[in-house]
Amino acid sequence: MDCIFCKITQGEMPSKVLFEDELVMVIMDANPNVDGHALIIPKKHYTDYLDLDEEIMAHIFAVAKKMGPKIMDKLNAQALTLVVNYGNSQVVKHFHMHILPNYHGSNNLATKTVGEIYDILKD
């Protein structure tokens, strides 16, 4: 299988990791839509949300509950959007959840490099 997210979770490709445990990784999106755009990726390959078992689904949402407020706080975001794409809108066919901070009074576009945002968020 030639899955970019499998390669990232197996350490075969570099990524800016914000969080990792035995089940998932949270990484910075390499092509962010907005500053702080992160992805929660299961380490096991699941094609889409229909493949997820209850345990991993609950764990992904628990990680989102932990990481979302942290990202909002560190980047002074006023809101947050969680997105899961399915079907043709799912570009990488490995389940992942997008964490997208929302900023009041701005056009919500990425204005800094991934490295600059990672330096603010890491720890």
Q: Which of 59, 94, 96, 98 is an active site residue?
A: 96
- Domain residue ranges of the chain, discontinuous segments joined by +: 4-121
- pLDDT for 75-114, tens place per residue? 999 999 999 999 999 999 999 999 999 987 666 777 889 9
Specify the pairing of strand 97-102 against strand 38-42. antiparallel
φ/ψ (deg, to 5) at 33:
-80, -25
| Model confidence pLDDT, tens digit, residues 55-74 | 999 999 999 999 999 999 99
Tell me if the domain spanning 4-121 has CATH number 3.40.50.1100: no
Known active-site residue 96? yes
Task: Give the Cα separation of 33 and 50 in Å (integer).
Answer: 25
Please give the radius of gyration of the chain, using alpha carbons only, rounded to the nearest integer.
14
Structure confidence by residue, pLDDT tens digits, 5-23: 999 999 999 999 999 999 9
Which pTM value belongs to this model? 0.93
| Strand residues in 21-85 grouped as ranges (E) | 24-28, 38-42, 79-83
